[in-house]
Amino acid sequence: MAKKNPPLKIIPLGGLDGIGKNMTVFEYGDDMILDDAGLMFPDDDQPGIDLVLPDYTYVLENEHKLRGIFITHGHEDHTGSLPYVLRDLTRKVPIYASRMTLGLVEGKLAEHRLTNEQLVEVKSGQHVDMGAFGVDFFSMTHSIPGAMGVFIRTPQGTVLHTGDFKLDQTPIDGVRPDYSAINRFAAEGVDLLLSDSTNATRPGFTGSEATVGASLRHIIKNAPGRVFVASFSSHIHRLQQVCDAAVSVGRKVVVTGRSMISNTKIARKLGYLDIPEEDIIDAFDVDGLPDEKVVVLCTGSQGEPLSALARMANGEHRSLTITDKDTVIISATPIPGNEKGVQSIINSLSKVGCTIFDKSNALVHVSGHGSQEELKLMLAMVNPRYFAPVHGEAVHLRAHAKLAMDMGILPDHIFVIDNGDTLEMRNHKVRLGTPVDSGVVYVDGMRISDADPVVLRDRQKLSCDGIVTCVVTVASRTHKALEIDISGRGISFADDSELLGGAQDVVRSTVDRSAEKAGNNVDATRKAVRNALSNYLWSKTKTRPLIIPVVMEV
Amino acid sequence: MAKKNPPLKIIPLGGLDGIGKNMTVFEYGDDMILDDAGLMFPDDDQPGIDLVLPDYTYVLENEHKLRGIFITHGHEDHTGSLPYVLRDLTRKVPIYASRMTLGLVEGKLAEHRLTNEQLVEVKSGQHVDMGAFGVDFFSMTHSIPGAMGVFIRTPQGTVLHTGDFKLDQTPIDGVRPDYSAINRFAAEGVDLLLSDSTNATRPGFTGSEATVGASLRHIIKNAPGRVFVASFSSHIHRLQQVCDAAVSVGRKVVVTGRSMISNTKIARKLGYLDIPEEDIIDAFDVDGLPDEKVVVLCTGSQGEPLSALARMANGEHRSLTITDKDTVIISATPIPGNEKGVQSIINSLSKVGCTIFDKSNALVHVSGHGSQEELKLMLAMVNPRYFAPVHGEAVHLRAHAKLAMDMGILPDHIFVIDNGDTLEMRNHKVRLGTPVDSGVVYVDGMRISDADPVVLRDRQKLSCDGIVTCVVTVASRTHKALEIDISGRGISFADDSELLGGAQDVVRSTVDRSAEKAGNNVDATRKAVRNALSNYLWSKTKTRPLIIPVVMEV
């Protein structure tokens, strides 16, 4: 039975421990809505993991309350866990997002063979009722079209979530942040502001996307040969600017790289990317064209070794090879962790001898997230009673909180919280509630599993020291060793017969001694073999491979 | 028998494929000298490797010619392979370096139990004859004291090697680059210049080390509580500035972290680090002191998870724990590849709530390598006939070559070469010679081995998908399967008995089928088991663990 006057609960299940896997639950009594359903890409210390999802058990446990899911924009850190959530729900719920976001979501869902979902397009300015929640969508500027913020009215008060944003006065598609709506909501009263913290440590304003266009045009116009532009395939505004520059100087655009091909198709179909049919050509049709008539739009801006850019740089692409007469623009910035991969492609391109432009020597990229002045402007416009920085690492959330304090928001009205923490709102007042279970789940091949530190630790150990298997058959009567088979993988001494011979001797005497002492105890023998072999290998090689002893009585 | 009029050969064995493992051979007839003997730290795609050395087979093969080794400065990318080289040589050769460099080298050699080497201290301005080579040492400024360049006279011409350098007019120890010597050598005629390329893509001048001092003093003076400064432990000038700032405002200096303790000891003993005895105290004696009287010098500027800074941030240090009243200065920049580790410590510190200063918000670090204007100034002063950029990745070497071209050096007088390439000089003219074998060797525990891509590939596979061992005993008469033991490590399905049961069935039927077809062929059975199990696991889990099948007849 529902309690009388329940609080509004705001529960971030992801997004507060790093930039990725954004997901926030809003719950009021028997009603619940979900704000974003993102994923994160694994770290170096999560070997073999394909994807990292927020643990959304809380959503499943309260599935009966779920009135709708809305997605603020189409980046994977906001959409990527949607297929998994939908597969785990036992009933259909409506999914609200902009046309562009739904276009990208649809593609992802199709890959997971989810074709029968309830996708509902919403436009900026539109109001949607989801149970007890009234949700108003408003346009924001970001590095993808169709990004929106939301204003949520509930019986206990209001929440404004900016979504990912910068404040771009000259966006490429002309769709500015809806300042009018934001100020209208502010006038009505925003009890809690959730605002993007990604660039909270950067002073000043983030430059407009339009500033990049002039620089791209200049480079493309003056390049003597072909121009290759690597960028994020979802950054449709950037791609639009590349296409505009190419068309304006009479160059054709070639698109290559799997996600670049698929995203430009979706964006053109939905009307977000505008280039005349005759100006965009297939990579196989490029042969007839003079070099100075070609711009190639490609993937690889993050240094991915199998990307189109890497393959074209290394002569491994089916139809295009970069030469010393070409110009390459890396129109992106490395996501933290990708720095070495990007540097490696730049080194390959340097060896080819082409001209290279990137952030270090030309204005070919600006961030999609607002810097400190934009965050402060947002705080000033919204003038919220309470504030919780979201979308960032610990350092970003705290820097954003400091900005809010500098602007006069009382420290006890600012909540720097973790995933799973609960904010409770009653009568326009916010306080910390009881946390819920949260964490991450790993997608590893087809399996989805809770974080199992043992598996990851084993994998890291395997990757450092390799593995040695030792199979011993023992006589069932005497328990003495008969045959011993020692082999290894990922070890540097696999061919050292003297060392392996010594290991055999050690194992044999260990088994025989164990037989005398413990007799018929296979478990004890196995442990003794593992210890003896581990010590022997340490003494000889100063490495500790993982040892798998198998003892079989015959 | 030595040929008449042999060429001077200049053979870089390392240092031209990245920043690390610098080592260059100079050879003339029956005489050879070695310029630096460095190492490189392994990459993420070299799991389990401890160190990467240049392949110095060429040095060993020509050992009888070796007249001496000189080391330009004490960083590990210039000294680190020395213990390995010395161990592999069958006779003693003199090792020339500055007092500071030898101090650090001695420590390293002692770790390898090499105590009886011929270490010869040289000073700036000193001349040493090594066989046919006359070597003049001259002081240079870099991020470690005692850095030197060399001018080498040979019967075929002269070579100037800058060593790692910036041009710092206000170095902390007052030892400026020896411009007078450089200009004297230039007047005599430099046939070939080898110059540091690390910052060849950076415009302008690198700031003086002294500029950092003012900023450190300001922060340390105004901090309300303790100040923790993380830096490179070999950056003695930086440590000196921290000590000076501390002493000037009446704070004591506490040193923590293994390499920080050992390097400050060496530097103080040799007179490179100057701080009154009473102002440097042990970490255990800090308890009595008020917070505003303490500066802690520590390791951890590269985000190393076991470093003093990381342990103090996470409450795992024996005597010091960072609190929200403290100030932390990260007086360094992340070496490429360490960005995420550093960010992770910054996040931990943010959660603690201390005040953090790093490159992004204060002038607390400058590079030790000269930028474009310094590299051009060096080219202008030396005015070499030929030029080969050294010490850099592909992009840096090429950017440096371009600077030289911009300054009027003819393109065919500039050599952008790879490790193992040979430059030959005859009568002051340089041309490309025949390459020698080069490459890398890995130190993996106690073993030194050639790059074995199979071992590293296995390790990467192990780290991604784990391993499954499958031991089958077969009856020696019927060849049918008796017992089957399947187990795995680093796999996510280790506890899935249904899946493992299915795997057992697959293996059993595979073995029995193989017995019918191939009879007594253990090898064929093993292969069949591996394939069947691999396919089964792929179909069930979409992962491909490494499979080790063991088949034993009993």
Domain CATH number, residue B530: 3.10.20.580
A3 lies in some domain: no
Residues B177 and B219 in one domain: no
Q: How does pLDDT run across B189-198, given as a tens digit for each residue?
A: 999 999 999 9
- CB pairs < 8 Å spanning A and B: 187
| 272-291 in chain B: CB under 8 A from chain A | none
Of B346, B349, B492, the CB nearest to A444: B492
Cα separation, A470 vs A449, in Å, equals 30
Q: Is the pLDDT of residue A68 over 90?
A: yes
In the block, tokens 């300001």 appear at: B218
Cα separation, B24 vs A185, in Å, equals 69
Average pLDDT over residues B443-449: 74
pLDDT level of residue A15 (50, 70, 90 thresholds): very high
Residues B65 and B180 in one domain: yes
Return the number of other C-beta atoms located less than 10 Å from residue B358's C-beta: 20
Question: Please, which residues have CB within 8 angstroms of residue A464's CB and are 6 or more apart in sequence?
Answer: B47, B48, B459
What is the structure's pLDDT at A474? 87
Of A459, A464, A548, the CB nearest to B487: A548
B300 lies in some domain: yes
Answer with the residue of higher pLDDT: A116 or A148: A148
Q: Is the pLDDT of residue B461 over 90?
A: no
> What is the domain extent for residue A462?
453-553
Contact B552 A483 (CB under 8 A): yes
Answer with the residue of higher pLDDT: B192 or A467: B192
Question: Please, which residues have CB within 8 angstroms of residue B505's CB and are 6 or more apart in sequence?
Answer: none
In the block, tokens 């099948």 appear at: B549
| 356-395 in chain A: CB under 8 A from chain B | 356, 360-361, 393-395
Q: How does pLDDT run across B79-116, given as a tens digit for each residue?
A: 999 999 999 999 999 999 999 999 999 999 999 999 89
Average pLDDT over residues B445-460: 73
Contact B552 A460 (CB under 8 A): no
Q: How does pLDDT run across A380-413, given as a tens digit for each residue?
A: 999 999 999 999 999 999 999 999 999 999 999 9
Residues A191 and A256 in one domain: no
A57 near B CB under 8 A:
no
Q: pTM (2 decimals)?
A: 0.88
Residues A387 and A461 in one domain: no
Interface test with A, best of B112, B441, B458, B530 (most A CBs within 10 A): B458
| 186-215 in chain A: CB under 8 A from chain B | 201
Residues B328 and B409 in one domain: no
Give contacts of B490 with chain A, Cβ < 8 Å.
48, 455-456, 458-459, 462
Annotated binding residue at A112? Answer: no
Q: Is the pLDDT of residue B448 over 80?
A: no
B499 near A CB under 8 A:
no
A2 lies in some domain: no
What is the structure's pLDDT at A456? 78
Annotated binding residue at A142? Answer: yes
Rounded to two decimals, the ipTM of the complex is: 0.85
pLDDT level of residue A452 (50, 70, 90 thresholds): low
B196 classed as catalytic: yes
pLDDT level of residue B451 (50, 70, 90 thresholds): low
Question: Are A175 and A237 within 8 A, CB to CB?
Answer: no
| 443-482 in chain B: CB under 8 A from chain A | 444-447, 449, 452, 455-456, 458-460, 462-467, 469, 471, 473
B23 lies in some domain: yes
Q: Of A334, A357, A380, which residue sits at a domain end?
A: A357
C-alpha separations of B478 from A29, B320, B474 in Å? 69, 69, 8
Contact A347 B394 (CB under 8 A): yes
Cα separation, B494 vs B195, in Å, equals 55
Structurally, how many domains does chain B consist of?
3
Residues A66 and A91 in one domain: yes
For residue B18, what is the nearest residue in chain A, using CA coordinates? A347
Average pLDDT over residues A355-365: 95
A290, with CB counted inside 10 A (0-12, 13-18, 19+), is exposed
Q: Of B450, B474, B509, which residue sits at a domain end?
A: B450
pLDDT level of residue A450 (50, 70, 90 thresholds): low
Of A47, A349, A466, the CB nearest to B458: A466
A350 near B CB under 8 A:
yes
Q: Is the pLDDT of residue A546 over 90?
A: no
How far is the alpha carbon of B499 from chain A, nearest alpha carbon, in Å? 12
Cα separation, B463 vs B445, in Å, equals 19
Residues B445 and B458 in one domain: no
Cα separation, B106 vs B104, in Å, equals 5
Give contacts of A483 with chain B, Cβ < 8 Å.
552
Q: Is the pLDDT of residue B348 over 80?
A: yes
Give contacts of A338 with chain B, Cβ < 8 Å.
none
B2 lies in some domain: no
Q: Of B329, B357, B385, which residue sits at a domain end?
A: B357
Residues A243 and A315 in one domain: yes
What are the two backbone dihedrals, phi and then psi, of residue B414, each rounded to the nearest 5 degrees? -115, 130
What is the structure's pLDDT at B491? 84
Cα separation, B387 vs A153, in Å, equals 70
Residues A15 and A143 in one domain: yes
Contact A455 B491 (CB under 8 A): yes
Q: Is the pLDDT of residue A156 over 70?
A: yes
B196 lies in some domain: yes
A460 lies in some domain: yes
Of A473, A490, A543, the CB nearest to B445: A543
Residues B101 and B79 in one domain: yes
What is the structure's pLDDT at A495? 81
B362 lies in some domain: no
Residues B77 and B116 in one domain: yes
Contact B48 A543 (CB under 8 A): yes
What is the structure's pLDDT at A287? 83
Give contacts of B498 with chain A, Cβ < 8 Å.
none
Residues A39 and A79 in one domain: yes
| 10-39 in chain B: CB under 8 A from chain A | none
Answer with the residue of higher pLDDT: A515 or B122: B122
Contact A445 B491 (CB under 8 A): no
What is the structure's pLDDT at B452? 67
CATH of the domain at B113: 3.60.15.10
Cα separation, A483 vs B476, in Å, equals 14
Give contacts of A449 with chain B, Cβ < 8 Å.
492
